[in-house]
Amino acid sequence: MNKEKNLKILVTGVAGFIGSKICKKLIENKYTVVGIDDLSNGKKKNIPIGIKFLKLDLSRKSSIKKIPKCDIIFHLAGQSSGEKSFDYPIKDLEKNTISTINMIEYGIKNKCRKIIYASSMSVYGEPSNKSLNEKSQINPISCYGVSKITSEKYIKVFSKKLPYIIFRMFNVYGSGQNMRDLKQGMVSIYLSQALKGDKIVVKGSLDRKRDFIHIDDVTNIWMKTIKSKKINKIYNLSSGSNYKVRDLLKKILDLTGKKKILKMRGTIGDQFNSYSNNYQISKDFKYKKFINIDQGLKKFYTSEKKLK
Ligand SMILES: NC(=O)c1ccc[n+]([C@@H]2O[C@H](COP(=O)([O-])OP(=O)(O)OC[C@H]3O[C@@H](n4cnc5c(N)ncnc54)[C@H](O)[C@@H]3O)[C@@H](O)[C@H]2O)c1
């Protein structure tokens, strides 16, 4: 019996897009999972069968007493939209930063081996006119970016008691994304409009550049952290490619057979360019074969068509 397989993994944000996918993979690999979500943005139907689920708001300190002891924390719960962070900055701070402080306290009390944290490329902010790496300047321009970098800093100051890995994830896409939420997820926003109507509304310049990473690559890399000896490190979790928004749109229009784009003013706090090399993550996690955007989009499109 593989001892590592007896590990109990805590997945926060388990009813959300990325948390639910990682949780499924953990179950496939026979790990025991405790999942937490307050269902503020996640859906009950996303929660995989076979886990112990607790509906808890992690921004409340009282919640942490209710969570059973686990070995590793996968902390993905949080407010995930840059645009919404301006509508509700205090809620954003509570859901991202206060929740993280509570999870650190939980991790220390329960002597967890490590916390893996879902941070974001938003911590870099602007100017970002060249490829980013983990040493690039930090200058968030959204409330979301501020709450993510603040969470990272709390994690770092407690690292002697609770080791960490921080993933600054770029634009994650793929099946399971919330197709009804038009304020989070560039690929899902455009694809859902193309599937439902005859045009895609685009807020902001078509020349913005993004780094799209498929959900399968993201889950594979999170899984690798369980056995990895790397700790107290920050990684850009990106595909290492960059596409202009107009390139992505063309691919989506070609796939769906739609033709029209309606351009509108950009949203507050939206970075112009955001793409990174993935040298460090590829090297440390021995992960080289990232799904390219054409394969990934086709996969996503096919799964959405099946649901219709
Ligand atoms: N999707 C991306 O491209 C991306 C990129 C970078 C970082 N991230 C981060 O990764 C994480 C997961 O993203 P996602 O796309 O799955 O978002 P999501 O909104 O689908 O999932 C987040 C989940 O956290 C839950 N949640 C929020 N606040 C909570 C709280 N206080 N207590 C308990 N549960 C709470 C929500 O209900 C939701 O189910 C988020 O922290 C997000 O900021 C996502």
Q: What is the pLDDT of residues 83-100, one digit of tens each?
A: 999 999 999 999 999 999
In this predicted model, which residue has the larger pLDDT, 307 or 175? 175
* Ligand 1 pocket test target in 12, 18, 165, 169 with most atoms within 8 Å of CB: 18
Q: Is the pLDDT of residue 261 over 90?
A: yes
**Is the minimum distance from the CB of 47 to ligand 1 under 6 angstroms?**
no
In this predicted model, which residue has the larger pLDDT, 232 or 3? 232
Split at pLDDT 50, 70, 90, the class of 4 is: low
Decide if 82 contacts 269 (C-beta within 8 A): yes
**Distance in Å, CA 257 to ligand 1 centroid:** 31
Tens of pLDDT, residues 70-79: 999 999 999 9
Q: With 0-12 CB in 10 A as exposed, 13-18 as middle and 19+ as buried, what is 308?
A: exposed
Q: Is the pLDDT of residue 161 over 60?
A: yes
Inside any domain, residue 201: no
Tokens of 106: 């939980």
Residue 52 belongs to what domain range? 3-174+212-240+274-290
Split at pLDDT 50, 70, 90, the class of 305 is: confident
Distance (Å, rounded) from C-alpha 185 to C-alpha 248?
13
Residue 102: its pLDDT value, please?
Answer: 98
Inside any domain, residue 88: yes
Q: Is the pLDDT of residue 112 over 90?
A: yes
Angle subtended at Cα 63 by Cα 51 and Cα 152, rounded to the nearest 5 degrees: 90
Decide if 85 contacts 267 (C-beta within 8 A): no
Distances (CA, A) of 275 to 40, 89, 124, 158, 299: 29, 25, 10, 29, 22
CA-nearest residue, atom 35 of ligand 1: 77
Instruction: Using a cut of 0.85, tell me whether the model's pTM lies above it.
Output: yes
Start-to-end CA distance of the chain, whole Å, equals: 42
Residue 72: its pLDDT value, please?
Answer: 98
Inside any domain, residue 137: yes
Q: Is the pLDDT of residue 2 over 70?
A: no
**Is the minimum distance from the CB of 183 to ligand 1 under 6 angstroms?**
no
Distance (Å, rounded) from C-alpha 208 to C-alpha 251?
16
**For the chain, how many structural domains are there in total?**
1
Inside any domain, residue 152: yes
Q: Is the pLDDT of residue 53 over 90?
A: yes
Residue 5: its pLDDT value, please?
Answer: 67
Split at pLDDT 50, 70, 90, the class of 6 is: confident
**Distance in Å, CA 264 to ligand 1 centroid:** 26
**Distance in Å, CA 117 to ligand 1 centroid:** 11
**Is the minimum distance from the CB of 211 to ligand 1 under 6 angstroms?**
no
Tens of pLDDT, residues 162-217: 999 999 999 999 999 999 999 889 999 999 999 999 899 999 999 999 999 999 99
Q: Is the pLDDT of residue 234 over 60?
A: yes
Tens of pLDDT, residues 276-302: 999 999 999 999 999 999 999 999 999
Residue at token pair 């992505």: 248
Inside any domain, residue 184: no
**Is the minimum distance from the CB of 57 to ligand 1 under 6 angstroms?**
yes
Inside any domain, residue 198: no
Residue 259: its pLDDT value, please?
Answer: 84
**Is the minimum distance from the CB of 171 to ligand 1 under 6 angstroms?**
yes
**Distance in Å, CA 96 to ligand 1 centroid:** 9
Side-chain-side CA neighbours of 204 within 13 Å: the count stands at: 19
Residue 1: its pLDDT value, please?
Answer: 46
Mean pLDDT of 16-43: 97
Residue 136 sits in a domain whose CATH number is 3.40.50.720
Inside any domain, residue 308: no
Residue 306: its pLDDT value, please?
Answer: 78
CA-nearest residue, atom 23 of ligand 1: 13
Inside any domain, residue 144: yes
Q: Is the pLDDT of residue 244 over 50?
A: yes
Q: Is the pLDDT of residue 19 over 90?
A: yes
Q: Return the percentage of the chain with pLDDT > 70, whole number.
A: 98
Decide if 97 contacts 59 (C-beta within 8 A): no
**Is the minimum distance from the CB of 101 to ligand 1 under 6 angstroms?**
no
